[in-house]
Structure 1
Amino acid sequence: MRLLLILLVLLSACKSPAPTVPAGFVARHVRFLADDRYSLLAGYLRLNVPVRYDTLLHWVDQGDAAPTLKYRFTSARGCLLQERGYIQQPACTQAVDRLTILTDHYSGMVAGDTTGFHGRCQALERAEHEMGNTFAWRARKVLRLDHRVFTVQEFCGARYRYWLPGQRKRFRWEPYQELLAQTIVQQGKGAWLISFRFECTQAACPAFSQQAYTILSSVHLDSLAVAQTTAVSRANEGKR
């Protein structure tokens, strides 16, 4: 009996402590929804989000190419429009503070592969300037979080935005801060690009970067894709 008690004590001591949720945040989870019409990612995503993100929206943005499944954490008092299509209408007429998670199915992508990241950064900067927006980089880097490789682009500036309330076109010059973190996961024979897009277009976005990285550090994808992603990443490391 004494030996059994000792073993139980040792086993309890070896258990990993439960992850803590930072003050001002709440633990949430997203279940990637199956849909017979589209080939969608299966599994669960767990993360901590600010308490003010009390609303979760989800929809399929069919766009002009392949459909994108979107999940958005935001405030119930903020903009709740679900944009669709190439020009992303309807557009919000008020400042936003939100996190949108996008899943896109791609062929030929491999988990852990960051090839082309530098080129994507150049293309993003060029596109913003061509649209007449002001643009400045805050970060361009690669991170490893929860056994997965993320590329991170953080930038800020001001955009000349327009939207179409009814039939009247209106314009507005607005400041913005964005952080785009992306990772690739393998599931079955396909590959998925999962994007975490943090946006704030309010006049002041206190602790924007800190909040985004706090959320990212809590992300955990609970599905078979995790094991597959880890295996591919380790295989790539072994080839270096």
Structure 2
Amino acid sequence: MVKTSSKVGGKLVGVKRLKVDTWFAAVMQASQQTKIEPLVEFLSINGLNTNRDKWDRCKNSEAVPLASFVLEVDKVLPGTASILMAGVDKLPLWKVLDKDESVCKRTVSSLLADARLYQSGKSVAQKCHSLLEYMVEFQFGDTWSCSHRDLDKLVASPTQNEIAKSCKAKNLDRRTMLAIVALWILAQSGRDQKAINYTDYFLLGILEQPLTERFGKPIADFVLDMYREAG
């Protein structure tokens, strides 16, 4: 059922733990169960015999389920396998959160390209301007209440985060949020302080409630921890 992975104190850590926790939560939700014993019974009724030990290890973040088992569960609960193997909404969520820089770059570029805002050779700071333009024009619309042309002016007032304010009225979609996280990760790997300031502002705009609404609390908490650990 399982294979061992990098652990601390017998528990999975980092993105691997987050993947298993998110998949387990999705299985419980899809089966409309709240405890493991009824889940095992539900799966058995639907033709999949499992045992409590397998699920206890997943619930307790002790092991990553094998792909073959995940696919067997998916036959009973369609859509759950893709959450563990790919992410959410076919987005490269896990690779972005695992700080795969090539995937982070593609995540941002594909979003901007679809909106015809992409230009090759742009720095991270320059991409921030394009991403903000995308958010205002294609996501927030009338809920954005000020000019977005002067990003430096917006960043100079971090306690009045306009992205957070607009998210309360009309939250960003998952793809845009993931692009923000990806761009923040790219800025952290460089030395451009302006890019770091811009992406910090973007990320602060979606931390906690906006991210929780779109991705769930475990993922929102994971991103918050990343931000805190970066200082």
* TM score, norm. by length of structure 2: 0.27
* Structure number with higher strand proportion: 1
* Structure number with higher helix proportion: 2
* TM score, norm. by length of structure 1: 0.27
